[in-house]
Amino acid sequence: MSALGCGSTSSSGVSTDAPQTQPEDGPILPSTPYNYANPEIPAHFLVETEGMHGQLPLMDSDNTPAHNPITDAGATLGRVLFYDVNMSANRTVSCASCHIQEKGFSDDRVLSLGFEDGETGRHSMGLTNARFYLEGRFFWDQRAATLEEQVLMPFQDPVEMGMTLAGLEARAAEASYYPKLFEAAFGDPQISTERMSLALAQFVRSMISTQSKYDTGRAMVARRSDDFPNFSESENHGKFLFVAGPGRGGFGCFVCHQGEGFVAQSAASNGLDATTESDLGYGAVTELAQDDGTFKVPSLRNVALRAPYMHDGRFATLEDVVAHYSDGVQPSPNLGPPFFPNGDGVSQIAMTQQEKDAMVDFLLTLTDDALITDPKFSDPFTEL
């Protein structure tokens, strides 16, 4: 490991001789902060989605804690921290290196590259709708109990950013632009990693998707099982297959990808592997056999933007993902419903080619161009 690695830096974790790759005068921010605190919430986020699993209205699955509501100034500070490469040991990597706005805040690598080009242990995750997951745990294996806890972990990861908490505070203190951002967010200019955690969590929670083709269609009908007038026949067919249970000729995807956010209420196994040897997932965190091989069920919003797929990035395309559900589900020890083992222990939901195409067409309607081009989530260190 070089002198800039996490294990061998000075106690502050700061290297002062590293190149500065961002403008010295700091981020370019609007004089009136962007609106993060009060986004427009579509009416369908407030209703319980019909179905047999008591699916929550999306707004009821909000994991925002009472002590950290989103404020415009807080999320603005979070945005600057998110894009600031000075917050990695050798000033080359920011959160946005692996969470790219155009890619639904994920990246297109199987494994991401950290500050010294080391590979991460798993595939990067999209951040769209991170706010809507009531269990509020983060990472594929759900090892972070809250988002506030999660956001400080990449900084300290020896592969990702290679910093210490003391080093982070020192880096923020040496940059001219932070004291006023902390003051706007928290009332005084004091810099602390606790405040960084609050601000970053606010910024990430503000990345909600409300303007996909799906949302436009959903707003035009009373029940989401109704055909959407703005959908093609194939998109509506895919939606039916997604939201109908196996007993009704569908594939029950909604059992895990629930409600209007397409996110579960707990970790699950979708039968990627017959054994849990390669990755115990949540089971390694809880040490309970019932959690072995289960992983966080990612929200499917903006899924089309963030190939490759799954915790290990094993599937290159959505077609590959759908083929897995159709033909490849393995008898994993904790395989979730609706994949009830039958006979050989593997669920059989074999889809026709037309059904596979329809499913992919439906997944594409969850892309939200407004979110991925919204300047309030863009890099403030580059001019638009």
As measured in angstroms, the least distance from the Cβ of 124 to ligand HEC is 4
Confirm or reject binding of residue 58 to ligand HEC (CB under 6 A).
no
Confirm or reject binding of residue 160 to ligand HEC (CB under 6 A).
yes
Write out the two tokens for 290: 């019932």
Confirm or reject binding of residue 154 to ligand HEC (CB under 6 A).
yes
The answer to whether the CB of 18 falls within 8 A of the CB of 4 is yes
Measured CA to CA, the distance from residue 111 to residue 142 in angstroms comes to 18
Instruction: Sketch the per residue contact string, 101 through 120, with ligand HEC: x for CB under 6 A, - otherwise.
Output: -----------x-x-----x
As measured in angstroms, the least distance from the Cβ of 15 to ligand HEC is 17
Nearer to ligand HEC, 92 or 188 (CB): 92
Confirm or reject binding of residue 207 to ligand HEC (CB under 6 A).
no
Show the CA angle centred on residue 271, arms to residues 265 and 274, nearest 5°: 140
As measured in angstroms, the least distance from the Cβ of 156 to ligand HEC is 9
As measured in angstroms, the least distance from the Cβ of 269 to ligand HEC is 6
The answer to whether the CB of 211 falls within 8 A of the CB of 126 is no
Measured CA to CA, the distance from residue 254 to residue 265 in angstroms comes to 12
Confirm or reject binding of residue 13 to ligand HEC (CB under 6 A).
no
As measured in angstroms, the least distance from the Cβ of 171 to ligand HEC is 12
The answer to whether the CB of 115 falls within 8 A of the CB of 89 is yes
Site for ligand HEC in 328-347 (CB under 6 A): 336, 338-339
As measured in angstroms, the least distance from the Cβ of 95 to ligand HEC is 3
Instruction: Sketch the per residue contact string, 263 through 292, with ligand HEC: x for CB under 6 A, - otherwise.
Output: -----x-x-x--------------------
Q: Say if residue 58 is exposed, middle or buried (CB neighbours under 10 Å; 0-12, 13-18, 19+).
A: buried
168, 359, 366, 371: residue in contact with ligand HEC (rule CB under 6 A):
359
Nearer to ligand HEC, 71 or 330 (CB): 330
Measured CA to CA, the distance from residue 78 to residue 181 in angstroms comes to 9
Measured CA to CA, the distance from residue 82 to residue 308 in angstroms comes to 23
Confirm or reject binding of residue 237 to ligand HEC (CB under 6 A).
no
Q: Say if residue 143 is exposed, middle or buried (CB neighbours under 10 Å; 0-12, 13-18, 19+).
A: middle
Write out the two tokens for 13: 């974790």
The answer to whether the CB of 315 falls within 8 A of the CB of 321 is yes
Nearer to ligand HEC, 31 or 367 (CB): 367
# chain residues binding ligand HEC, by CB under 6 A: 55
Measured CA to CA, the distance from residue 13 to residue 22 in angstroms comes to 20
The answer to whether the CB of 313 falls within 8 A of the CB of 110 is yes
Which positions lie near ligand HEC, rule CB under 6 A?
82, 93, 95, 97-99, 112, 114, 120-122, 124-127, 130, 138-141, 150-151, 154-155, 160-161, 200, 204, 251-253, 255-257, 268, 270, 272, 295-298, 300, 303, 306, 309-311, 318, 321-322, 325, 336, 338-339, 359
